Copies of this chain bind each other. A is one copy, B any other.
Protein backbone atom coordinates (compact mmCIF):
# COMPACT_ATOMS: atom_id res chain seq x y z
CA UNK A 1 0.00 0.00 0.00
CA UNK A 2 2.77 2.44 0.95
CA UNK A 3 4.55 1.64 -2.31
CA UNK A 4 1.48 2.39 -4.40
CA UNK A 5 1.01 5.72 -2.65
CA UNK A 6 4.68 6.63 -3.19
CA UNK A 7 4.61 5.80 -6.86
CA UNK A 8 1.41 7.78 -7.29
CA UNK A 9 2.96 10.77 -5.55
CA UNK A 10 6.01 10.63 -7.80
CA UNK A 11 3.76 10.49 -10.85
CA UNK A 12 1.85 13.53 -9.60
CA UNK A 13 5.07 15.41 -8.88
CA UNK A 14 6.27 14.72 -12.42
CA UNK A 15 2.91 15.86 -13.79
CA UNK A 16 3.08 19.10 -11.81
CA UNK A 17 6.54 19.87 -13.17
CA UNK A 18 5.38 19.44 -16.75
CA UNK A 19 2.22 21.43 -16.01
CA UNK A 20 4.34 24.29 -14.68
CA UNK A 21 6.41 24.31 -17.90
CA UNK A 22 3.21 24.31 -19.95
CA UNK A 23 1.71 27.16 -17.94
CA UNK A 24 4.78 29.33 -18.54
CA UNK A 25 4.67 28.47 -22.24
CA UNK A 26 0.97 29.34 -22.48
CA UNK A 27 1.52 32.67 -20.73
CA UNK A 28 4.45 33.61 -22.96
CA UNK A 29 2.35 32.79 -26.02
CA UNK A 30 -0.62 34.78 -24.68
CA UNK A 31 -3.05 31.88 -25.04
CA UNK A 32 -5.84 31.42 -22.49
CA UNK A 33 -6.21 27.71 -21.72
CA UNK A 34 -9.47 26.27 -20.41
CA UNK A 35 -9.66 22.75 -18.93
CA UNK A 36 -13.24 21.40 -19.00
CA UNK A 37 -14.03 18.67 -16.49
CA UNK A 38 -17.33 16.93 -15.78
CA UNK A 39 -19.05 13.59 -15.58
CA UNK A 40 -19.68 11.80 -18.88
CA UNK A 41 -22.66 13.29 -20.65
CA UNK A 42 -22.70 16.68 -18.92
CA UNK A 43 -22.46 18.29 -22.33
CA UNK A 44 -18.78 19.23 -22.66
CA UNK A 45 -18.55 18.48 -26.38
CA UNK A 46 -21.72 20.26 -27.41
CA UNK A 47 -20.83 23.30 -25.31
CA UNK A 48 -17.38 23.31 -26.88
CA UNK A 49 -18.84 22.93 -30.37
CA UNK A 50 -20.97 26.06 -29.89
CA UNK A 51 -18.16 27.90 -28.10
CA UNK A 52 -15.71 27.32 -30.96
CA UNK A 53 -18.35 28.67 -33.34
CA UNK A 54 -19.02 31.69 -31.11
CA UNK A 55 -15.36 32.60 -30.53
CA UNK A 56 -13.68 31.34 -33.66
CA UNK A 57 -12.82 29.53 -35.68
CA UNK A 58 -9.70 31.66 -35.96
CA UNK A 59 -7.37 31.94 -32.95
CA UNK A 60 -9.21 29.13 -31.12
CA UNK A 61 -8.19 25.46 -30.86
CA UNK A 62 -9.17 22.36 -28.88
CA UNK A 63 -7.74 19.13 -27.52
CA UNK A 64 -10.21 16.41 -26.54
CA UNK A 65 -9.57 13.42 -24.33
CA UNK A 66 -11.46 10.13 -24.43
CA UNK A 67 -10.72 6.52 -23.55
CA UNK A 68 -11.69 5.51 -27.07
CA UNK A 69 -12.90 6.91 -30.42
CA UNK A 70 -11.99 10.05 -32.36
CA UNK A 71 -15.66 11.07 -32.55
CA UNK A 72 -15.39 14.25 -30.53
CA UNK A 73 -12.43 15.57 -32.51
CA UNK A 74 -14.24 14.89 -35.79
CA UNK A 75 -17.33 16.62 -34.46
CA UNK A 76 -15.41 19.67 -33.23
CA UNK A 77 -13.24 19.91 -36.35
CA UNK A 78 -16.35 20.82 -38.34
CA UNK A 79 -16.07 24.26 -36.70
CA UNK A 80 -12.94 24.88 -38.76
CA UNK A 81 -10.79 25.27 -35.64
CA UNK A 82 -7.70 23.08 -35.18
CA UNK A 83 -8.67 20.07 -33.05
CA UNK A 84 -6.75 17.04 -31.88
CA UNK A 85 -7.99 13.93 -30.10
CA UNK A 86 -6.06 12.35 -27.23
CA UNK A 87 -7.03 8.69 -26.81
CA UNK A 88 -6.17 7.60 -23.27
CA UNK A 89 -6.95 3.87 -23.48
CA UNK A 90 -7.78 2.94 -19.91
CA UNK A 91 -6.59 6.15 -18.23
CA UNK A 92 -9.46 8.12 -16.67
CA UNK A 93 -7.94 11.61 -16.98
CA UNK A 94 -5.60 13.70 -19.11
CA UNK A 95 -2.04 14.34 -17.92
CA UNK A 96 0.27 17.24 -18.63
CA UNK A 97 2.62 15.19 -20.80
CA UNK A 98 -0.30 14.11 -23.01
CA UNK A 99 -1.07 17.80 -23.56
CA UNK A 100 2.56 18.59 -24.33
CA UNK A 101 2.74 15.82 -26.96
CA UNK A 102 -0.60 16.73 -28.51
CA UNK A 103 0.51 20.35 -28.99
CA UNK A 104 3.53 19.44 -31.10
CA UNK A 105 3.68 21.51 -34.27
CA UNK A 106 1.04 24.03 -33.19
CA UNK A 107 1.99 27.71 -32.97
CA UNK A 108 0.47 28.76 -29.66
CA UNK A 109 1.17 32.43 -30.50
CA UNK A 110 -1.56 32.21 -33.14
CA UNK A 111 -4.21 31.35 -30.54
CA UNK A 112 -6.32 33.39 -28.13
CA UNK A 113 -8.04 30.37 -26.58
CA UNK A 114 -7.11 26.70 -26.25
CA UNK A 115 -9.84 24.43 -24.86
CA UNK A 116 -9.00 21.08 -23.32
CA UNK A 117 -11.93 18.70 -22.97
CA UNK A 118 -10.92 16.24 -20.27
CA UNK A 119 -12.09 12.61 -20.01
CA UNK A 120 -15.63 12.49 -18.62
CA UNK A 121 -14.99 11.70 -14.97
CA UNK A 122 -15.73 13.46 -11.68
CA UNK A 123 -12.85 11.84 -9.81
CA UNK A 124 -9.58 11.25 -11.69
CA UNK A 125 -9.07 14.61 -13.49
CA UNK A 126 -9.15 16.49 -10.15
CA UNK A 127 -5.54 15.54 -9.35
CA UNK A 128 -3.93 16.49 -12.66
CA UNK A 129 -2.90 20.06 -13.39
CA UNK A 130 -2.62 20.57 -17.16
CA UNK A 131 -1.09 24.04 -16.97
CA UNK A 132 -4.49 25.57 -17.70
CA UNK A 133 -5.46 29.18 -16.97
CA UNK A 134 -9.00 28.24 -15.96
CA UNK A 135 -10.47 24.96 -14.80
CA UNK A 136 -14.20 24.75 -15.42
CA UNK A 137 -16.39 22.09 -13.83
CA UNK A 138 -19.61 21.42 -15.73
CA UNK A 139 -22.71 19.99 -14.11
CA UNK A 140 -25.90 19.40 -16.03
CA UNK A 141 -29.36 20.09 -14.66
CA UNK A 142 -30.23 16.40 -15.09
CA UNK A 143 -27.45 15.04 -12.87
CA UNK A 144 -28.93 15.81 -9.47
CA UNK A 145 -28.15 18.78 -7.26
CA UNK A 146 -26.05 16.73 -4.82
CA UNK A 147 -23.07 16.06 -7.09
CA UNK A 148 -20.76 18.73 -5.57
CA UNK A 149 -21.13 17.13 -2.13
CA UNK A 150 -20.45 13.64 -3.50
CA UNK A 151 -17.45 14.61 -5.67
CA UNK A 152 -15.93 17.42 -3.60
CA UNK A 153 -12.35 17.39 -4.98
CA UNK A 154 -13.33 18.26 -8.49
CA UNK A 155 -15.60 21.12 -7.41
CA UNK A 156 -13.03 22.36 -4.90
CA UNK A 157 -10.28 22.48 -7.54
CA UNK A 158 -12.28 24.35 -10.19
CA UNK A 159 -12.16 28.10 -10.95
CA UNK A 160 -15.60 28.35 -12.54
CA UNK A 161 -18.74 26.17 -12.38
CA UNK A 162 -21.02 25.96 -15.41
CA UNK A 163 -24.50 24.53 -14.97
CA UNK A 164 -25.34 23.07 -18.37
CA UNK A 165 -28.45 21.97 -20.29
CA UNK A 166 -30.51 24.68 -18.61
CA UNK A 167 -33.12 24.17 -21.35
CA UNK A 168 -33.96 20.87 -19.58
CA UNK A 169 -34.22 22.44 -16.10
CA UNK A 170 -38.01 22.38 -15.87
CA UNK A 171 -38.38 18.86 -17.31
CA UNK A 172 -35.74 17.58 -14.87
CA UNK A 173 -37.30 19.48 -11.94
CA UNK A 174 -33.89 21.06 -11.31
CA UNK A 175 -33.54 22.97 -8.03
CA UNK A 176 -31.02 25.69 -8.96
CA UNK A 177 -30.85 27.20 -5.49
CA UNK A 178 -30.01 23.85 -3.92
CA UNK A 179 -27.39 23.10 -6.59
CA UNK A 180 -25.71 26.48 -6.15
CA UNK A 181 -25.73 26.11 -2.38
CA UNK A 182 -24.01 22.70 -2.71
CA UNK A 183 -21.36 24.11 -5.06
CA UNK A 184 -20.67 27.00 -2.68
CA UNK A 185 -20.47 24.62 0.30
CA UNK A 186 -17.46 22.99 -1.34
CA UNK A 187 -16.01 26.07 -3.03
CA UNK A 188 -17.42 29.28 -1.48
CA UNK A 189 -15.81 31.80 -3.86
CA UNK A 190 -16.41 30.03 -7.19
CA UNK A 191 -18.43 31.94 -9.80
CA UNK A 192 -21.36 30.00 -11.29
CA UNK A 193 -22.81 30.47 -14.77
CA UNK A 194 -25.90 28.91 -16.31
CA UNK A 195 -25.77 27.78 -19.90
CA UNK A 196 -27.64 25.92 -22.58
CA UNK A 197 -25.51 24.93 -25.57
CA UNK A 198 -28.75 24.68 -27.54
CA UNK A 199 -30.24 28.05 -26.56
CA UNK A 200 -28.11 30.44 -24.57
CA UNK A 201 -24.34 30.82 -24.39
CA UNK A 202 -24.20 34.50 -23.38
CA UNK A 203 -23.36 34.16 -19.70
CA UNK A 204 -20.74 31.50 -20.44
CA UNK A 205 -19.00 33.41 -23.23
CA UNK A 206 -19.00 36.58 -21.10
CA UNK A 207 -17.39 34.68 -18.21
CA UNK A 208 -14.68 33.28 -20.51
CA UNK A 209 -13.89 36.69 -21.96
CA UNK A 210 -13.79 38.29 -18.51
CA UNK A 211 -11.47 35.59 -17.15
CA UNK A 212 -9.16 36.00 -20.13
CA UNK A 213 -9.12 39.80 -19.80
CA UNK A 214 -8.36 39.49 -16.09
CA UNK A 215 -5.44 37.15 -16.76
CA UNK A 216 -3.99 39.54 -19.34
CA UNK A 217 -4.12 42.47 -16.95
CA UNK A 218 -2.53 40.33 -14.25
CA UNK A 219 0.21 39.09 -16.62
CA UNK A 220 1.15 42.51 -18.02
A120 to B140, CA, bound (A): 15
Q: In residues 164-185 of chain A, which contact B (Cβ within 8 Å)?
A: 165, 168, 171-172
B90–A143 touching, CB < 8 Å: no
Number of copies: 2
> Which of B66, B69, B151 is the one whose CB lies under 8 Å from A67?
B151
A92 to B168, CA, bound (A): 28
- How many residues on chain A are close to B (CB under 8 Å)? 39
| B-chain residues with CB within 8 Å of residue A11 when the two chains form the complex | 4
Binds B, one of A103-111, A121-129, A204-212: A121-129
> Which of B41, B153, B168 is the one whose CB lies under 8 Å from A147?
B41
Chain A window 27-57, contacts with chain B (Cβ cutoff 8 Å), 1 for yes, 0 for no: 0000000000001111101000000000000
| B-chain residues with CB within 8 Å of residue A17 when the two chains form the complex | none
| B-chain residues with CB within 8 Å of residue A140 when the two chains form the complex | 41, 142
A147 to B42, CA, bound (A): 11
B122–A121 touching, CB < 8 Å: yes
Residue of B nearest to A43 (CB): B144
Task: Answer yes or no: A71 CB below 8 A from chain B CBs.
Answer: yes
A72 to B149, CA, bound (A): 11
> Which of B68, B147, B150 is the one whose CB lies under 8 Å from A149?
B68
Residue of B nearest to A93 (CB): B123
B124–A92 touching, CB < 8 Å: yes
**Contacts A68-B152, A121-B123 known; 5 new A-B pairs at CB < 8 A:** A41-B143, A72-B150, A90-B153, A120-B151, A121-B122
- Return 6 A-B CB contacts under 8 Å, by A number: A3-B7, A43-B144, A68-B149, A71-B150, A90-B123, A121-B122
